[in-house]
């Protein structure tokens, strides 16, 4: 359930992290999405993952150990079945990037995901799955 003033919390979180570079275990796609959901709802869906990995290999192991094996399956386990709709503001999305499936947050017509240069707005990527945050 979103907090009463969740748009303000989401906007603040996005603005505060526009220039935060990608870092495994601190600001990767899954933790970014989970932190955005936490800003909106107060619920920390990534609590079991925090501090458990710092590399890509470690993230893969953490998905197997604490999640459901893949990014999509883990998000589904935590947030429920993905919706077959277009994303709305604040929804968690899974998109395909050159780095593989990537979690992000939908805002202003784009899916925002961490990159080495900070948050990147992906506008033309095919959305593979959408989890409604409401």
The arithmetic mean of pLDDT across residues 85-95, rounded, is: 94
pTM over 0.85? The answer is yes
pLDDT value of position 8: 86
The arithmetic mean of pLDDT across residues 85-90, rounded, is: 91
Helix (H/G/I), strand (E/B), else coil: 64: helix
Q: Is the pLDDT reported for residue 23 higher than 60?
A: yes
Domains and CATH numbers, the chain: 6-131 (3.90.1720.10)
Q: Which of 27-41, 59-73, 119-133 has the lowest mean pLDDT?
A: 119-133
Nearest to 83 by CA among 16, 126, 132: 132
pLDDT value of position 128: 95
- The Cβ of residue 13 has, within 10 Å, a number of other Cβ atoms equal to 17
Provide DSSP, 82-119. Answer: PBSS---TT-EEEEEETTEEEEEEEETTEEEEEETTEE
Nearest to 119 by CA among 7, 26, 31, 32: 32
């Amino acid at each position: 359930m979103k907090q009463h003033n969740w748009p303000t919390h989401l906007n603040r979180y996005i603005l505060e992290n526009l220039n935060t570079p990608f870092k495994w275990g601190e600001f990767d796609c899954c933790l970014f999405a989970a932190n955005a959901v936490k800003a909106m709802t107060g619920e920390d869906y990534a609590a079991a993952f925090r501090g458990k990995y710092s590399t890509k290999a470690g993230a893969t192991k953490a998905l197997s150990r604490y999640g459901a094996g893949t990014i999509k399956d883990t998000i589904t386990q935590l947030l429920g079945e993905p919706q077959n709709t277009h994303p709305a503001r604040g929804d968690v999305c899974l998109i395909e990037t050159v780095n593989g499936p990537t979690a992000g947050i939908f805002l202003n017509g784009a899916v925002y995901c961490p990159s080495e240069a900070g948050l990147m707005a992906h506008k033309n990527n095919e959305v593979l799955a959408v989890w409604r945050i409401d």
